[in-house]
Structure 1
Amino acid sequence: MTDPVLEVLRTRPELADLAAFPFDFDVSRAYHVEGVHLASGASLEPIAGDDTGGTYFLCGGTAVLHASSDGYASLLADSVGEALEMLVRLPWWCEDVSAEMDEEELRAAVRAGDEEARKEFAPELDAQRAALLSGLGLPDRPLVELAVMSESATRRTDPDYVLLNSRELCAYQLEESFRPPLHDVVLGPGREVLARLRSGDSGAWRAAADDPVLRAGVLRAAQYDRREGDLPLLRFLLEREDAWRTEWFEERRLAAVLVALHGQDEDVTLLRSATSGQVTNSAGGVEWARAEEAKRHGRDVAAESEFTWIELARRQGRIEHARVALIRMLDDTGPDADRLRELSRALERLGDHAQAARAQFNLLSLQDTAWSRASEAYVLARLERRKGDLAAAGRALERARAAVGVDGTGQDETVSQWHRRGLGRLITEQHLELTLAAVEAGDAELARATMTYARLLLDTIGKQSAKALSKLSTRAKWAVAALPPSGA
Structure 2
Amino acid sequence: MGTTDEQERLLHGPRRDLDRARRDPATWNDLVFRAEHTGEGRVTDRNGAARFGVLWALQYDRRPEDLPLLRFLLQEQATFYREAVPMGLAPDLTLAGFLVAEHRQVEDVWLHWTAKNISFDTALGYHLYHLLTGGIAATVEVVRASSHPERDRLLKDITPSRHTDTAVEEWLEEQRRIFPADPAEESLKTWAYHAARLGEREASRLFMTEWAAGGPRTDDTLNTLQFHLAHLGYLTEAVAVQKEAVAICQSPPESSLKASKLLQLVKLERQAGNFAGALQSLEAAGQALSAVPDWPWMGMWIAVVKEYFLLVPVAPDKNTSRRLLAEADEQLRGVPQKWLNGVIDPAITAAEHLNDTDKRSRYQSLQAAGRHQQDQQRSPGPAATS
Same fold per superposition (TM over 0.5): yes
Per mean C-alpha deviation after superposition, the further-off stretch among 391-400 and 282-291 is: 282-291
Alignment partner, residue 152 of structure 1? none
What is the CA–CA distance in structure 2 between the aligned matches of 1:382 and 1:335, rounded to whole Å? 22
Q: CA deviation at 1:226?
A: 1.7
Equivalent of residue 280 in structure 2, options 385, 395, 402: 395
Superposed counterparts of 1:317-328, under 5 Å: 317-327=199-209
Provide closer, same or farther for how the CA distance between residues 430 and 329 of structure 1 changes in structure 2, counting only shifts above 3 A: farther
Give the number of the structure whose residues are more often helix, by fraction: 2
Hey, what does 2:303 align to over in structure 1? 426
Q: 1:202 to 1:229 in 2, by over 3 A?
A: closer
Matched, 1:444 2:325: no
Of 213, 234, 244, the residue aligned with 1:352 is 234
Pairwise CA distance, 1:327: 4.8
The residue number in structure 2 matching 1:266 is: 107
Give the match for residue 10 of structure 2: 186
Aligned to 2:62, the other structure's residue is in SS state coil
1:473 aligns with 2:340: no
Secondary structure of the residue aligned to 1:263 is coil
* SS of aligned partner of 1:299: coil
Q: Return closer, same or farther for 1:418/1:330 CA change in 2, 3 Å cut-off.
A: same
CA contact (8 A) 2:32 2:51 kept: yes
The answer to whether the Cα contact below 8 Å between 1:194 and 1:222 also exists between their aligned partners in 2 is yes
Deviations 1:447-471 (A, max 9, x none): 3443343223212643333364233
CA distance in 2, matches of 1:387, 1:334: 27
| 2:64–2:103 contact (8 Å) kept in structure 1 | no
Q: Is the 8 A contact 1:327 1:355 kept in 2?
A: no
Q: Confirm whether residue 201 of structure 1 aligns to residue 201 of structure 2.
A: no
Query: CA distance change for structure 1 residues 474 and 250 in 2, over 3 Å: closer, same or farther?
Result: same
1:193–1:204 contact (8 Å) kept in structure 2: no
Q: Is the 8 A contact 1:242 1:273 kept in 2?
A: yes
Does the 8 A contact of 2:14 with 2:53 survive in 1? yes
Offset of residue 295 of structure 1? 5.8
Larger Rg: 1
Shift of 1:293: 0.7
Q: Distance in 2 between matches of 1:333 and 1:444?
A: 46
Aligned to 1:220: 56
The 5 A counterparts of 1:77-226 are 155=1, 176=2, 179-198=3-22, 200-210=23-33, 211-226=47-62
Consecutive unaligned residues in structure 2, runs of 5 or more? 34-46, 118-122, 137-164, 357-386
**Aligned counterpart in structure 1 of residue 224 of structure 2, from 342, 345, 352:** 342
- Identify the match of residue 417 of structure 1 among 296, 301, 308: 296
Amino acid of the structure 2 residue aligned with 1:205? W
Instruction: Judge conservation of contact 2:243–2:265 (CA < 8 Å) in 1.
Output: yes
The change in CA–CA distance for 1:221 and 1:477 in structure 2 (over 3 A counts) is same
Retained in 2: the 8 A contact 1:326–1:343? yes
Find the aligned partners of 1:460 and 1:398 in 2 and give their Cα distance.
Answer: 21
Q: Secondary structure at the match of 1:259?
A: helix
Distance 1:257 1:401, change over 3 A: same
Gaps of 5+ in 1: 1-154, 156-175, 483-488
- Tell me how many residue pairs correspond in the alignment: 294
Match of 2:372 in 1: none
* Equivalent residue, structure 1, for 2:249: 367
Partner of 1:84: none
Task: Name the residue aligned to 2:373.
Answer: none
Q: Using the TM superposition, give the Cα deviation of residue 356 of structure 1 relative to its aligned residue in structure 2, in angstroms.
A: 1.0
Aligned residue identity for 1:404? L
Separation of aligned partners in 1, 2:334 and 2:314? 23
Amino acid paired to 1:458: L
Aligned AA (2:55): L
Distance 1:258 1:315 in 2: 18
CA contact (8 A) 2:305 2:332 kept: yes
The aligned counterpart of 2:337 is 463
Q: Residue 212 and residue 348 in structure 1: after superposition, are their counterparts in 2 closer, same or farther (change >3 A)?
A: same
For residues 170 and 113 of structure 2, what CA distance do their matches in structure 1 show? 12
Deviation digits for residues 275-311 of structure 1, max 9, x if unmatched?
A: 3481444125853751551562222323334343333
Identity over aligned residues, as a percent?
A: 27
Distance 2:250 2:21 in 1: 53
CA distance in 2 between partners of 1:387 and 1:205 (Å) = 40
Give, in angstroms, the shift of residue 359 of structure 1: 1.0
TM-score (norm 1): 0.54
Shift of 1:402: 1.5
Instruction: Label 1:238 to 1:323 Cα distance change in 2 as closer, same or farther (>3 A).
Output: same
**CA drift at 1:380:** 0.5
1:39-58 map, 5 Å: none
Deviation at 1:318, TM superposition (A): 2.4
